[in-house]
Amino acid sequence: MLNKAKNTQKGNAGSNKREPAFVLVGKLQRPHGVNGEITMRVDTDFPERIRRGKTLYLGEDHVAHKVTGTRWKGDLMLVKFDGYDSPEAVSELINQMAFVSVDDIPALPDGEYYHHQLIGLEVYEADEYLGTLEAVLQTGANDVYIVEDLEGKELLIPAIPEVVLKVDLADKRLEVRLLEGLR
């Protein structure tokens, strides 16, 4: 079973102290046209969920803004927010990061996990505690889990089926079998 992960590690603490309350979906760039639209560089695998009636949370303070319209212009999304009807008004949102609530992200198929779900898992090989998964590095070929042991040393674990044996989110446990030379 391949334990594929999606990158969403952003935001503040939610129910789990390491679980974010918000995940990044894009960055607002510049006003477009005369009706208050703004361009957004999209940074999500699910852009279709950013649509009229949904809420985006902008900036470090995650201020709620209701989306009243979206459309594509090349690889950028044009977003219209309630209460922003001119380029001058929407210009105050330039360079804001756009987030959605973690409660609004879609469920993934079995065996796939969002990065934010994996961060904080305790990593074991058999019954030996190896450390805590602190970050996920995306390399292109496969993700690499960065595990920090009790002494603060990092262990890099490739996220491949031969190494990652079991992900148990309920018990906050990741079981692995290290390949020769990984320690």
- Predicted confidence (pLDDT) per residue in 93-137, tens digit: 999 999 999 888 888 888 888 888 899 999 999 999 999 999 999
CATH at residue 155: 2.30.30.240
For residues 92 and 147, membership in a common domain is answered with no
- Predicted confidence (pLDDT) per residue in 44-89, tens digit: 888 998 999 999 999 999 999 999 999 999 999 999 999 999 999 9
Domain contains 57: yes
Domain contains 14: yes
For residues 37 and 94, membership in a common domain is answered with yes
Q: Which two three-digit tokens encode residue 136?
A: 């996920």
For residues 129 and 84, membership in a common domain is answered with no
Who contacts 117 (Cβ-Cβ below 8 Å, separation ≥6)? 5, 19, 169
What pLDDT does residue 141 have? 87
* Residues of the domain holding 141: 120-176
Closest to 136 measured CA to CA, from 152, 147, 123: 147
Domain contains 113: no
Structural domains in the chain (count) = 2
Flag whether pLDDT at 14 surpasses 80: no
Angle at 161 between CA 144 and CA 159, to 5 degrees: 5
For residues 54 and 95, membership in a common domain is answered with yes
